C-alpha cells in the first residue's frame, strides 16, 4: 500500500520489504585483497626453511625497501600496525600538550595521542574535500600546541604543503596519518615524504595489506635511527639500550603477505578504479547520491567509494539506506560516524567540541562507504547501484518498514 492506501506501485523486491536478498553473499567494505596464493605460500615456506620468523628478517627488509621506493622516501620502518606506528612516532618527536587533528578520522588517530597523555584537539573539515581545513587549524593553535597531525582521508592529500607552511610558521611538528594513502600522491609527489614523517597502514582492510601491519616513512635520517631503535625495545646494539622503546616489529609472515600484495598493486588499483568508475556511472542518476571524486591531478588508489547522501533529495536518511542495503547483503558502512569527538574518552573530556565542528557533524550524518576491492566485480557494482536506485524508488515503503527506526546493524 502507498500513502493514499492504494496498492503499491512497486513490488517488494527489497529484502527490507520481505523480498529475497539481492546478493547471495555479503559484500563488505574493506574485504581483503588477496594476492597470489602460490607466491605467498612460497615465501612462507622459505621463511620456515630459514627459521627466521621476526627481528628485522629478510622479507621485512625487502618490504621496507619496496615501500620506501614506491613512496619516494629515504627510510621506511615497518611496524606491527599503524596505530602503534603513530604512537612510536609521537614519542620519538617528543610531542606533548595539545596536537591538532581532524575528528573525521578513524578513532586510532586520536587514541594514539591520548594513549601518550597528549590532548587531541579536533579541527573541523572543509566539506568539499573532507580534509581538515588549514584555516581552522591556525585558529586552534595555542601555546600548548606542539604538533599537527594531518590525515590523508580516503587517500586524498590533506593539503600537506599548506599544513607544512603553517607548522613552520608556528614552530610545530607536522606528521601525517597516511593509513589510507599508500600509492596516492599530491600533485606529482607521492604521499609519504611530507612533514617529519608519515604512517601507512597495511591492515587487512587496506589497499595493500600485510594482514596487520604499518610503516613509518621519513626523509629524516636521525629520526629514522631513533624510530628503528624504539620499535625494538630501544636497542642500539646487541646489548645496548639507548632509549625507551617498545616492541612494534613487523614479523616475517606479515612481510610475506605485504610483498605478495605489493606484487599485485597495479591490478588492485585497476580493479578499484574500474569499480569506482562503474559506481560513478550507476549512482549519477539516483537522487540524493553524490560520489566523492578524486582529483585528476593526484594519483589515487581508488580504494574508497565515498557517497554523501542528501536525505531530502533521496527521500530517505543515510541510516535508512544503510539498513536497507544490509538487508540485501550489501554491508555499506557509516565511516567515520559519529566522529572521534563523539566517542569516549573524548566525548566526556570535551563535551562541547561539537560546537566548533559543524561540517564534521553534518558529514558524519550523511556519509556512506560502499564495497570495493578485488572481491567486487563490475556486475556487483551495477547490481549494487540498481539496488540503491530501487531503495530510493521505494522510499515510502522503506521508510514505513523502518518506522520506528531499526538501528543500523553492527558488523558481526
Ligand atoms: C585513518 C586511520 N588511521 C589509523 C588507522 C589504524 O591503522 P591500523 O589498523 O594499522 O592500526 C586506520 C585503520 O585501521 C585508519 O583508517
Rounded distance from Cα 18 to ligand 1 centre (Å): 37
The cell for 317 is 536518511
Percent of the chain at pLDDT above 90?
94
Confidence of residue 283 (pLDDT cuts 50, 70, 90): very high
DSSP per-residue letters across 337-400: -S-GGGSTTHHHH-TTGGGG-HHHHHHHTTEEEE--STT--HHHHHHHHHHHHHHHHTHHHHHH
Over residues 226-244, mean pLDDT? 97
Which of 79, 106, 191 for mutating ligand 1's site (highest number of atoms within 8 Å of CB)? Answer: 106
CB distance 87 to ligand 1 below 6 Å:
no
Q: Which domains does the chain have, with CATH numbers?
A: 15-30+265-332+371-401 (3.90.1150.10), 37-263 (3.40.640.10)
The answer to whether residue 412 scores a pLDDT higher than 70 is no
Specify the pLDDT at position 406: 77
Ligand 1 centroid from CA 284, angstroms = 30
Cis peptide before 216 (omega within 30 of 0): no
pLDDT at 111: 98
201 C-alpha vs ligand 1 centroid, how far in Å?
6
- Residue 124 · residue 360 · CB < 8 Å: yes
For residue 117, how far is its CA from the centre of ligand 1 (angstroms)?
A: 19
Which atom of ligand 1 is nearest to 336's Cα? Answer: 16
Instruction: Please give the backbone phi and psi of residue 293, each rounded to the nearest 5 degrees, phi first.
Output: -95, 160
pLDDT tens for each residue of 285-310: 999 999 999 999 999 999 999 999 99
How far is the C-alpha of 337 from the C-alpha of 368, rounded, in Å? 9
165 has pLDDT over 80: yes
Q: Is residue 79's pLDDT more than 80?
A: yes
- Tell me the residue ranges of DSSP E strands in 71-164: 75-79, 98-102, 119-123, 145-151
Residue 388: pLDDT over 60? yes
Task: Band the pLDDT of 9: cuts 50, 70, 90.
Answer: low
Output the nine-digit C-alpha cell for 250: 613487523
C-alpha cell at 333: 558502512
* Farthest-apart Cα atoms in the chain, separation: 82
pLDDT in the model for residue 411:
67
Q: Tell me the pLDDT tens digit for each residue of 323-378.
A: 999 999 999 999 999 999 999 999 999 999 999 999 999 999 999 999 999 999 99
Q: How does residue 8 score in pLDDT terms, banded at 50, 70 and 90?
A: low
- Binned at pLDDT 50, 70 and 90, residue 3 comes out as very low
d(CA 394, CA 19): 13
Q: Whose CA is nearest to atom 1 of ligand 1?
A: 106
Ligand 1 and 108: CB distance under 6 A:
yes
The preferred substitution site among 176, 203, 208, 337 for testing ligand 1, maximizing ligand atoms within 8 Å of CB, is 203
Q: Is the pLDDT of residue 407 over 60?
A: yes
Of 13 and 174, the structure prediction assigns the larger pLDDT to: 174
Sequence-distant (≥ 6) Cβ neighbours of residue 86 within 8 angstroms? 108, 109, 112, 113, 149, 175, 177, 199
CA distances from 90 to 83, 99, 263, 369 (A): 11, 10, 31, 30
Calculate the average pLDDT of the chain.
95
180 CA distance to ligand 1 centroid (A)? Answer: 8
Q: What is the 3-state secondary structure (H, E, C) of 186-227?
A: ECCEECCCCCCEEEEECCCCCCCCCCCCEEEEECCHHHHHHH
Give the mean pLDDT of 308-330.
Answer: 98
Q: How many CB atoms lie within 10 A of CB 278?
A: 20
- Give the residues across from 218 on adjacent strands: 75
Interval 122-134 mean pLDDT: 97
Query: What pLDDT was estimated at residue 409?
Result: 80
The residue length of the chain stands at 412
What's the Rg (C-alpha) of the chain?
A: 22
What percent of the chain stands above pLDDT 70? Answer: 97
Q: How far is the CA of 199 from the centre of ligand 1 (A)?
A: 9
What is the rounded distance in angstroms from the CA atom of residue 78 to the CA atom of residue 125? 30
Q: What is the DSSP letter of 144?
A: T
The 10s digit of each residue's pLDDT in 240-262 is 999 999 999 999 999 999 999 99
pLDDT at 404: 79
**Residue 296 or residue 108, greater confidence:** 108
Q: What is the DSSP letter of 155?
A: G
pLDDT, position 4: 45
Q: What pLDDT was estimated at residue 51?
A: 98
The whole-number average pLDDT for the span 13-36 is 96
Q: Residue 11 C-alpha to ligand 1 middle, in angstroms?
A: 42
Q: Per the structure block, which three cell numbers stand in for 17?
A: 520489504
Cell numbers standing for residue 369: 562507504
CB of 113 within 6 A of ligand 1: the answer is no
Q: Helix, strand or coil for residue 255?
A: helix
Q: At 38, is the pLDDT very low, low, confident or very high (cuts 50, 70, 90)?
A: very high
Residue nearest to atom 9 of ligand 1 (CA): 203
Res 2: pLDDT = 44
Ligand 1, residue 105: give the atom nearest the CA: 1
Amino acid at each position: 500500500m502507498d500513502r493514499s492506501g492504494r496498492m503499491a506501485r512497486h513490488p517488494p523486491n527489497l529484502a527490507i520489504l520481505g523480498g529475497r536478498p539481492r546478493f547471495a553473499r555479503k559484500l563488505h567494505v574493506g574485504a581483503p585483497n588477496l594476492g597470489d596464493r602460490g607466491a605467498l605460500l612460497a615465501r612462507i615456506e622459505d621463511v620456515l626453511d630459514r627459521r627466521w620468523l621476526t627481528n628485522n628478517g629478510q622479507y621485512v627488509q625487502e618490504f621496507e625497501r619496496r615501500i620506501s621506493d614506491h613512496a619516494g622516501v629515504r627510510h621506511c620502518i615497518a611496524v606491527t600496525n599503524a596505530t602503534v606506528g603513530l604512537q612510536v612516532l609521537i614519542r620519538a618527536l617528543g610531542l606533548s600538550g595539545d596536537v591538532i587533528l581532524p575528528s573525521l578520522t578513524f578513532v586510532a588517530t586520536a587514541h594514539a595521542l591520548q594513549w601518550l597523555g597528549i590532548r587531541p584537539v579536533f579541527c573541523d573539515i572543509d566539506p568539499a574535500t573532507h580534509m581538515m581545513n588549514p584555516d581552522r587549524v591556525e585558529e586552534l593553535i595555542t601555546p600548548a600546541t606542539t604538533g599537527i597531525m594531518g590525515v590523508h582521508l580516503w587517500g586524498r592529500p590533506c593539503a600537506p604543503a599548506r599544513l607544512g607552511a603553517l607548522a613552520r610558521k608556528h614552530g610545530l611538528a607536522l606528521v601525517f596519518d597516511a593509513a589510507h594513502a599508500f600509492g596516492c600522491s599530491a600533485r606529482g609527489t607521492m604521499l609519504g615524504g611530507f612533514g617529519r614523517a608519515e604512517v601507512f597502514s597495511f591492515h587487512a582492510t587496506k589497499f595493500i595489506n600485510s594482514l596487520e601491519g604499518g610503516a613509518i616513512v621519513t626523509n629524516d635520517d636521525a629520526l629514522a635511527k631513533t624510530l628503528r631503535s624504539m620499535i625494538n625495545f630501544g636497542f642500539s646494539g646487541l646489548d645496548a639500550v639507548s632509549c625507551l622503546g617498545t616492541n612494534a616489529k613487523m614479523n616475517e609472515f606479515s612481510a610475506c603477505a605485504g610483498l605478495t600484495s605489493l606484487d599485485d598493486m597495479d591490478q588492485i588499483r585497476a580493479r578499484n578504479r574500474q569499480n569506482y568508475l562503474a559506481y560513478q556511472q550507476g549512482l549519477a542518476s539516483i537522487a540524493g547520491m553524490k560520489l566523492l571524486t578524486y582529483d585528476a591531478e593526484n594519483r589515487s588508489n581508488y580504494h574508497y567509494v565515498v557517497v554523501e547522501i542528501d536525505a531530502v533529495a533521496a527521500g530517505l536518511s543515510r541510516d535508512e539506506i544503510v539498513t536497507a542495503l544490509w538487508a540485501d547483503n550489501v554491508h555499506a558502512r557509516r565511516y567515520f560516524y559519529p566522529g572521534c569527538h563523539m566517542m569516549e574518552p573524548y566525548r566526556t573530556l570535551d563535551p562541547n567540541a561539537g560546537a566548533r565542528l559543524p561540517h564534521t557533524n553534518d558529514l558524519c550524518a550523511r556519509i556512506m562507504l560502499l564495497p570495493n576491492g578485488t572481491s567486487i566485480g563490475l556486475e556487483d557494482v551495477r547490481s549494487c547501484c540498481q539496488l540503491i536506485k530501487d531503495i530510493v524508488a521505494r522510499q515510502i515503503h522503506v521508510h514505513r518498514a523502518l518506522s520506528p527506526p531499526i538501528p543500523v546493524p553492527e558488523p558481526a
